[in-house]
Structure 1
Amino acid sequence: MNSHILIIEDDENIARVVQLELEHEGFNTSIAYSGREGLAILEKEKLDLVLLDVMIPELNGMEVLRRIRAVNEEIIVIMLTARNSVYDRVNGLDLGANDYITKPFEIEEVLARIRTQLRFHRIQVKDQSADVIFIQTLAIYPSSREVFIDNEPVELTPREYDLLIYLVENKNRALERDQILNYVWGYDYFGDTNVIDVYIRYLRKKLQGVNNKPLIQTVRGFGYMIKE
C-alpha cells in the first residue's frame, strides 16, 4: 500500500511541483493551503507523513505541529520553511518534528528525506517486539542488521557491524585491542592490531551524529569503549 502524504503549503506552485514529484514516485498525496485546511484533512484522512510549511495562513506551521502532536505522536512531520535560524529549527524539533528542510530546496533532497523517514518508521512498526538496541541516538536492529544514527540509516560493512555490536554489547566497559581482535577477527587472525584503529576510524566517521559527540571513546593506552 502506497504511503499517503499531506502537503501543507500556501505557495500553490511549490505545492504542485512537490505533489507531481511525489506522485511520480508512487505516493498518494493531498494538498492544503492553510493551517486550518491541513488540520481538517488530518482529521478525515489516514496519512503517513506531512510536509508542513512554517509560514502558512490562518494557523502557522508551528501551531499546526503542536496540535498534531497533541493527538498523534506517530505520524511523520517534516517541516518546510524559508527560515534558517537555529531557533526555528530547534523550536520545530522540540515540538515534535521528525525532520527540517529549509527553502530553497532540491526536490531530490525532499524525496530522500521522505524515503528515509518512512523507512525508519516502517522498521519500528514492523516488529515492535523485536530486540532493538538503543545507545544515545544510535539504533541497531539485530534481526535485519540495520543501523540508524539520528534516524538516518548508516551503511556498514559486515566487519564494521560486528565491531559495533561487540562494543555495544559491552557498553560502559573498556575493551582491550586483543579482546576486540579475537572476537571480531577471530583467534586465528595473525595480522596487525592496527586494523582495529583503522576500523574504529571508519565507524566514528559513519556514526557522527548531529551533536558531533563521538560515540566510541578511546581509553588511552588500553583500547576502546562505548559509554551510555
Structure 2
Amino acid sequence: MSAKVLVVDDEVNQGRALALGLRLEGFEVTTVLDAESALASLALSAADVAILDLMLPGINGIELARRLSRLYPKMLLVLTSAYHLSERQLVRADCGVVGFVPKPYRLDELADFLRAKLASGPESARQFRKVASH
C-alpha cells in the first residue's frame, strides 16, 4: 500500500507538478490550496505525510503545521518554500516539522526523503532534516 501525501500549496501549478511527480514515485496524493482546505481534507481522509508551503493565504504553513501536529501527531510534516529557513528557525518555531525542502527541489530527493522518514522508526522519523536543493 502506498503512503498517502497531502500537498498544500496555493500555487496551483507547483502543487499539481509536485503531486504528479509524487504519484509517479508511487505515492497516493491529494492537493489543496490553503490551510482550511487541508484541515477539511484530513477530517475526511487521513494522510501519512503533509507537505506544506510556507507562504499560504490566511493560516501560513508554520501555523498549519502546529495545528496538524496537535491534531495528527503521527503524521509527518514537511515545509517547503522559496524562502530560506534555517534548521534553528524551524526548531524554534516548534511546529512539529520533520523536514524543510527549499524550492526549487529535486523530486527524486524529496521522494527518497519521504520514503526514508516513513520507513524509519517513530523516533528517527521525528528527527528534523533539511533536504538539499538544486
* Structure 1 match to 2:91: 90
Summarize the alignment of residues 143-154 of structure 1 with structure 2, pairs less than 5 Å apart: 150=127
Residue 90 of structure 1 aligns with an amino acid whose one-letter code is V
Q: CA deviation at 1:43?
A: 1.3
After superposition, the Cα gap between the structure-2 partners of 1:18 and 1:55, relative to the gap in structure 1 and judged at 3 Å, is same
Contact 1:3-1:27 at 8 Å conserved across structures? yes
Summarize the alignment of residues 76-225 of structure 1 with structure 2, pairs less than 5 Å apart: 76-86=76-86, 88-92=89-93, 94-120=94-120, 123-124=121-122, 150=127
What stretches of structure 2 of length at least 5 have no aligned partner?
130-134
Q: How many Å separate the matches in 2 of 1:44 and 1:80?
A: 24
Contact 1:80-1:102 at 8 Å conserved across structures? yes
Q: How many Å separate the matches in 2 of 1:85 and 1:25?
A: 27
Contact 2:81-2:101 at 8 Å conserved across structures? yes
Q: How many Å separate the matches in 1 of 2:104 and 2:29?
A: 21
Identity %: 25
Residue 11 of structure 1 aligns with an amino acid whose one-letter code is E
Contact 1:7-1:50 at 8 Å conserved across structures? yes
- Which structure has the bigger radius of gyration? 1
* Structure 2 match to 1:51: 51
Residue 103 of structure 1 aligns with an amino acid whose one-letter code is K
* Structure 2 match to 1:24: 24
- SS class of match (1:15): helix
After superposition, the Cα gap between the structure-2 partners of 1:151 and 1:63, relative to the gap in structure 1 and judged at 3 Å, is closer
- SS class of match (1:7): strand
Contact 1:117-1:151 at 8 Å conserved across structures? no
Q: How many Å separate the matches in 1 of 2:56 and 2:101?
A: 15
- SS class of match (1:40): helix
What stretches of structure 1 of length at least 5 have no aligned partner?
125-133, 140-147, 153-228
Q: CA deviation at 1:88?
A: 4.0
* Structure 1 match to 2:35: 35
Q: How many Å separate the matches in 2 of 1:11 and 1:91?
A: 27
Q: Matched residue pairs, number?
A: 127
* Structure 1 match to 2:132: none
Q: TM-score of the superposition, structure 2-length normalised? A: 0.84
- SS class of match (1:5): strand
Residue 102 of structure 2 aligns with an amino acid whose one-letter code is T
Q: TM-score of the superposition, structure 1-length normalised? A: 0.51
